[in-house]
């Protein structure tokens, strides 16, 4: 994914930073020399080049085709006109198209600026004439100040698991492990969205609350993104929900599988409200309303011990049912 994204970015910059049409041979020499299909001959290169052109066109990029020579029209050339092309609104997600969108929409972020500079350097080394002023049609508009941004963005591109310490207001930092699906900006803040490995659930983490260094672990492409995942929608749904509370819940053994899966800790064989079966004590984190809803669905198999306000909310809901 990362190699293709870099190749698309290089091709985009190469064709945009030109005042003339560029031949296929120049494009191949500058942008496809290291491509796996390049050594297989012209036919393989043609297929790769056609796929990349189609990917750019799907992003709204207009690629012009014209003659390299005013007198001979036997060989076509390619370029992108600044007057006829513009990148569409692109969400900040972990897919191949995102690299182009990020480069355009978040030009000031030094990770992305470094990638663009590297692309320009490679093209110049190949003898391709580039005009950097033609890239001014994508001025900077977003910036990420959070130190965790770079590592989280890299992890989404390489699909590597990350480990970090996360601190909610009024709490001690807790270590979290995440399969990052994407990085997104919502309500003026940056978030990383993914699968919390320990809780086996979708989670959103505000980057400004990450403490210390984000550690990348495991191999590249260690996981796949769920089909149809919408990182921005997940962030909108989860990032602005009510804050979690830490609660202690008594749960009858062999019940409440979903609640057990999200528990921070489980103490087995404890005294419960009756002696009909054995009980376990769980420490769980969830918004108060969500926790009360879960316990209500378990009926006589679950009891909230603390905190008092959450327990009172549960009692109030039950009293309403009785009335």
pLDDT in tens, 41-61: 677 788 888 888 887 777 667
List Cα–Cα distances, 323 to 297, 317, 318, 319, in angstroms.
18, 10, 9, 6
Question: What pLDDT is attached to residue 170?
Answer: 78
CATH number of the domain residue 251 falls in = 3.30.70
List Cα–Cα distances, 145 to 104, 155, 184, 203, 252, in angstroms.
18, 18, 14, 22, 47
Q: Does residue 144 lie within any of the structural domains? A: no
Using an 8 Å Cβ cutoff, are 93 and 232 in contact?
Answer: yes
- Please give the residue that has the higher pLDDT: either 99 or 284: 284
Distance CA 190, CA 188 (A): 7
Reported as type and span, the H/E element at residue 2 is helix 2-16
Question: What pLDDT is attached to residue 176?
Answer: 95
Domain count, the chain: 3
Average pLDDT of the residues in 19-46: 72
The DSSP line for 70-131 is SS--SSEEEEE-TTT---------SSHHHHHHHHHH-TTSHHHHHHHHHHHHHHHHTT----
Residues 10 and 76 in one domain: yes
Q: Does residue 213 lie within any of the structural domains? A: yes
Q: Does residue 142 lie within any of the structural domains? A: no
CATH number of the domain residue 232 falls in = 2.30.30
Residues 171 and 218 in one domain: yes
Residue 115 confidence (pLDDT) above 70: no
3 state SS of 266: strand
Distance CA 317, CA 315 (A): 5
59-63, 132-136, 278-282, range with the lowest pLDDT: 132-136
Distance CA 323, CA 275 (A): 28
- Please give the residue that has the higher pLDDT: either 67 or 321: 321
Distance CA 164, CA 178 (A): 9
Residue 267 confidence (pLDDT) above 90: yes
34-43, 127-136, 156-165, 269-278, range with the lowest pLDDT: 127-136
Residue 86 confidence (pLDDT) above 50: no
Distance CA 210, CA 290 (A): 25
Of 191, 220, 238, which residue is a domain's last?
A: 238
Residues 127 and 24 in one domain: yes
Of 216, 238, 260, which residue is a domain's last?
A: 238
Q: Read off the pLDDT of residues 200-224 as tens digits, 9 standing for 90 and up.
A: 888 999 998 999 999 998 888 899 8
Distance CA 251, CA 281 (A): 6
Residues 298 and 215 in one domain: no
User: What domain range is 295 assigned to?
Assistant: 244-322
CB 186: neighbour CB atoms within 10 A?
Answer: 19
Q: How many CA atoms lie within 13 A of 39 on its CB side?
A: 3
Of 238, 254, 289, which residue is a domain's last?
A: 238
Residue 287 confidence (pLDDT) above 70: yes
pTM: 0.41
Dihedral of the alpha carbons of 53, 55, 61, 66, in degrees to the nearest 10? 10
Q: Does residue 256 lie within any of the structural domains? A: yes
Distance CA 246, CA 249 (A): 10
Highest mean pLDDT among 14-23, 47-56, 187-196, 277-286: 277-286
Residues 222 and 259 in one domain: no
The percent of residues above 90 in pLDDT, for the chain, comes to: 20
Residues 163 and 127 in one domain: no
Residues 163 and 233 in one domain: yes
Residue 84 confidence (pLDDT) above 70: no
3 state SS of 307: coil
Residue 273 confidence (pLDDT) above 50: yes
List Cα–Cα distances, 160 to 94, 116, 121, 155, 223, in angstroms.
12, 23, 28, 5, 7
Residues 80 and 155 in one domain: no
Question: What pLDDT is attached to residue 254?
Answer: 85
């Amino acid at each position: 994914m990362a190699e293709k994204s870099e190749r698309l970015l290089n091709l985009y910059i190469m064709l945009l930073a030109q005042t003339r049409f560029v031949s296929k041979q120049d494009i191949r020499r500058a942008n496809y020399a290291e491509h796996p299909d390049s050594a297989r001959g012209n036919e393989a290169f043609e297929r790769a080049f056609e796929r990349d052109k189609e990917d750019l066109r799907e992003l709204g990029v207009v690629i012009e085709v014209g003659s390299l020579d005013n007198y001979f029209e036997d060989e076509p050339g390619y370029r992108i006109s600044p007057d006829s092309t513009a990148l569409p609104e692109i969400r900040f997600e972990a897919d191949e198209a995102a690299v182009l969108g990020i480069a355009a929409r978040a030009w000031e972020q030094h990770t992305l600026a470094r990638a663009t500079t590297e692309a320009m350097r490679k093209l110049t080394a190949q003898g391709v004439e580039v005009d950097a002023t033609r890239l001014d049609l994508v001025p900077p508009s977003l910036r990420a100040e959070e130190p965790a941004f770079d590592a989280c963005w890299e992890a989404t591109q390489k699909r590597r698991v990350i480990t970090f310490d996360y601190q909610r207001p009024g709490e001690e930092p807790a270590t979290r492990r995440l399969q990052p699906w994407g990085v997104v900006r919502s309500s003026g803040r940056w978030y990383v969205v993914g699968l919390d490995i320990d809780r086996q659930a979708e989670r959103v983490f505000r980057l400004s609350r990450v403490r210390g260094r984000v550690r990348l672990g495991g191999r590249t492409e260690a996981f796949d993104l769920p089909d149809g995942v919408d990182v921005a929608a997940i962030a909108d749904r989860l990032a602005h929900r009510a804050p979690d509370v830490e609660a202690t819940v008594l749960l009858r053994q062999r019940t409440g599988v979903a609640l057990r899966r999200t528990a921070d800790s489980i103490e087995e064989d404890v005294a419960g409200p009756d002696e009909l079966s054995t009980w376990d004590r769980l420490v769980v984190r969830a918004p108060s309303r969500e926790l009360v809803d879960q316990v209500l669905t378990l009926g006589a198999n679950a009891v909230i011990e603390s905190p008092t306000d959450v327990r009172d909310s549960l009692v109030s809901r039950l009293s309403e049912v009785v009335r």
